Every structure is written in C-alpha cells, then in structure tokens.
Structure 1
Amino acid sequence: MKTTIIAITSAVAAMTLSNCTSPAGPDTQRGIATGGLLGAGAGAIIGHQSGRTAEGALLGAAVGGTAGGLYGNARDQERRGY
C-alpha cells in the first residue's frame, strides 16, 4: 500500500510540474493541477472498492487533469476575449 501511495503521489507531481512551463494561462495550469489531484483522490477511492487503487488513481488523475485543463483553458480564452 505504501508503494502505491508513493507511485500515485509521484505521478501526480510529475504531471502537475510538467505543465508549469507550457504557454498555457494561469487558469489552465491551475485547472490541470486541481483536476489531477481531485481526480486522483476520487479514482483511488473508487479503485480501492474494486481492489485496484493505483489504477483508479492514475485514471482519475488523467481524466481530472484533462477536464480541469479544458475548463481552465476556456476561462483563459474568455478572459482574453476570444
């Protein structure tokens, strides 16, 4: 279990930090980070119920990060007047 938590934390941190150098706006970056963290937590809880905590957390982080990034990008574009 400890190895799983370390792997999940490392994966989420890598995804979050890899987006800090992109030309995306601040809301996009914040959305990716927040969505990834919330998605990882929700995925871990749901995955734990089926005995696949790590897989659930990784899938949740990917889906949450994507959804958060899309939402944040829309806010950035709205702010810029696109």
Structure 2
Amino acid sequence: MKHGIHPEYRPVAFKDASTGKLIITRSTATSERTVEHDGATYPLIVVDVTSDSHPLWTGKQRLVDTAGRVQKFQEKYARFGGRASSR
C-alpha cells in the first residue's frame, strides 16, 4: 500500500435529523460542528436519513399527500388552457 495517498479515518458522530439518534463510526468526513459524547468530542455531521428513521429499516411508511400535490400542479398549469395532459 502506498503511503500518504489514503485519507485518515477517525471517529465521527452522525446525527439523524428526524430522530436525534447519534451514531459514532469511523469516517473521513469533516465538519466544523462538534458534539460531546461519553466524555469525548467528535466532529458532528447531521444527516436526513439513517437506519433509525428509514422506512425500509423501521417498517413504517410516511403518508404522502399526493392529492394535494396533484391539485397544486393542476392549479399551476391551469393558466395554459385547461388540464395538463401527458403526450
């Protein structure tokens, strides 16, 4: 293995934005933000989805307001002469 070409792995804290769960793992990611955990300070990276909040892992689905989205789309494009159609 060549020396000096590989990134340095160090402990980093990843925080799930929706659940608040903190995961400590090794990574090359960097951040100016830090967090204190178990007496140690780690760089903090906030992520939108982790295994703690992803529907595949939790078995829970989020309800999506598709009817509201369709209505917004139709209102937006109504000024172009009627309903939007696919070609």
TM interval, shorter chain, is under 0.3
- Return the structure number with greater relative CO, CA threshold 8 A, min gap 6: 1
TM-score when scaled to structure 1? 0.26
TM-score when scaled to structure 2? 0.25
Find the structure with the greater CA-based Rg.
2
More strand by share: 2
